[in-house]
Structure 1
Amino acid sequence: MSLLEIKSLSVHEADTDRCLVQDLSFTLRKNTCLAIVGESGSGKSLTAKAILGLIPPWLEVTGEVIYNKRNLLHEKGSVLRKIRGQKICMILQDAMTAFNPLDTIGKQMIETFRENLGVTKREARIIAETALHRVHMHTPKEVLKKYPHQLSGGMLQRVMISITIMLEPDIIIADEPTTALDSINQREVVEQFRLLREIMGTSILFISHDLGVVQYLADDLIVMRNGECVETGQASEIFSNPQHEYTRFLIRTRVNLAAPFQKSMEERVI
């Protein structure tokens, strides 16, 4: 079942008409993980931002982003904000930028839950503690008192995921969520994404250049280069029999680099 459908999505610079993403089309199915991979500058993060209407004003977006029979590119800002808060959540590459450095984690979580779930401040605090428990934060009350700079990158990612779990969105867009993490924190964060699918049936659009992580999580795969899709299909088929020369290059180089992560995930399963 199709949950999100992208049709001929393109992103241009308004002044120069330079094309940054060209004629991209794909479908995110219910309860699946679709990964978009490619090197820096390939257009994968820009695609994620275009879907959610987070493109800066000097860029123009054309095409269609169909969610719940509505083209999100034609919706007003107030409608998009509600969808972003409740139906489609985004987890950013640098977790630190997602939080206000001047407010505690607790204040920001409580405000988020009050705004999106319509609960009281007391209820929001209980939800925040429950959320942190679900991502294995063993002292949630202490975490709520801390400021973002007092938590590690891995802990901040888990806080973001905990918020997402309690909002129960239909779709999570994760933009390079493991890039800034060490291998141990990376493993924990990836496991949280796997659990999100198992527990909530959430569909995930996973943006990454790390093919080791992608091979572990993804059902479907899109390979981008210079703003274009060069290969798409089931992830298992692409990894076992890549058709495009660029895909073969990525798999040769990235899988070797990701070998330590793959080994750690295999050891965890055993």
Structure 2
Amino acid sequence: MSLLDVKNLFVHDIRTGEEIVKNLHFSLERNTCLGIVGESGSGKSMTAKAILGLTSPWLETSGVINFAGENLLNATREQLRMIRGQKICMILQDAHASFNPLYTIGKQMSETFREHFGMRKKDAIEMAVDALEKMNIHHPAQVIKKYPHQLSGGMLQRCMIAIAMTMKPDIIIADEPTTALDAINQQEVVEEFKRIRELIGTSMIFISHDLGVIQYLAQDVLVMQNGACVEYGKSEELFADPKHDFTKYLIERRLSLSEPFQQSIRHGGIHHVRAN
């Protein structure tokens, strides 16, 4: 049985009548990564928000999002709040937007751990330091004393991943987590996502324009265009023999520009090729 099953998912704008997501179907198996790829405005991020009930009030979501035997579209606000973070973590594109600028990183991390684990403040701070150490962050005891604006985007993404890793959720949804980073930080952050899945077996939905990252991380790939799925299947098969013209365009027009991709994989790196 799949960990997450999405069937007949629609997201409808009741103000304009626009269908933002159209009849989407996909599954997420345990300890696998599903890559969702498509150009801007294709409905990728909206799909992620619909899963966690984070869509705007004027958007109507229908269908089935089956997680742990429950349709999340029927869950109460309190039930969704408990699921977010503890069972399903979401890591956003802009790490700065994920942290409150008025509080230190350590306070925000420790408060998250205290709320979900019911631990003392001292223990939560120690957990925060330990989490950053596991992310190979130098001088974590100093990092937790800093405010978000004092850290780089790459460092803040690592802090977000450290929180997710500590929570050990069933699913991590990463929405364009490398877009705002430079090439070096992109590579390091992607490697951390790969390491999380290998260490704790967390399943992932990784949303990206970067086809190189999707090919590197994902076992299954969903290609979206104009709110709909145009192709869905095993990563190896989809990249080797794409069926839809749009998928062929993305792969042939972008990945073919980069022969160094396979070389970078063999040398432990990642070549980044953007879909738009």
Q: Normalized against structure 1, the TM-score is what?
A: 0.97
**Structure 1's 152 and 79: CA in aligned 2 closer, same or farther, altered over 3 A?**
same
Q: Secondary structure at the match of 1:15?
A: coil
- Corresponding position of 1:51: 51
For the 8 Å contact 2:35–2:207, the answer to whether it is kept is yes
Deviation at 1:76, TM superposition (A): 0.8
- Corresponding position of 1:238: 238
Q: How far apart in 1 are the matches of 2:118 and 2:52? A: 22
For the pair 1:40 / 2:40, whether they are aligned, the reply is: yes
- Corresponding position of 2:174: 174
- Corresponding position of 1:12: 12
For the 8 Å contact 1:91–1:174, the answer to whether it is kept is yes
Q: How far apart in 1 are the matches of 2:139 and 2:262? A: 30
What do residues 176-222 of structure 1 show as CA deviations (whole Å, max 9, x unaligned)? 01111111111111111111111101100011111000000000000
Structure 1 stretches lacking a partner, 5+ long = none
Deviation at 1:263, TM superposition (A): 4.6
Q: How far apart in 1 are the matches of 2:43 and 2:179? A: 16
Paired amino acid for 1:202? T
- Corresponding position of 1:121: 121
Deviation at 1:51, TM superposition (A): 0.5
Report the count of equivalent residues.
269
Q: Secondary structure at the match of 2:142?
A: helix
- Corresponding position of 2:103: 103
- Corresponding position of 2:210: 210
Q: How far apart in 1 are the matches of 2:70 and 2:238? A: 31
The two structures, once aligned, show a CA RMSD in angstroms of 1.3
**Structure 1's 219 and 52: CA in aligned 2 closer, same or farther, altered over 3 A?**
same
Q: Secondary structure at the match of 1:268?
A: coil
Deviation at 1:259, TM superposition (A): 5.8
Q: How far apart in 2 are the matches of 1:268 and 1:95? A: 25
**Overall identity of the aligned pairs, in %:** 59
Paired amino acid for 1:107? K
For the pair 1:196 / 2:183, whether they are aligned, the reply is: no
- Corresponding position of 2:75: 75
**Structure 1's 232 and 47: CA in aligned 2 closer, same or farther, altered over 3 A?**
same
Q: Secondary structure at the match of 2:268?
A: helix
Which consecutive segments of 4 or more residues in structure 1 shift more than 2 A? 256-269
Q: Secondary structure at the match of 1:2?
A: coil
Q: Normalized against structure 2, the TM-score is what?
A: 0.95
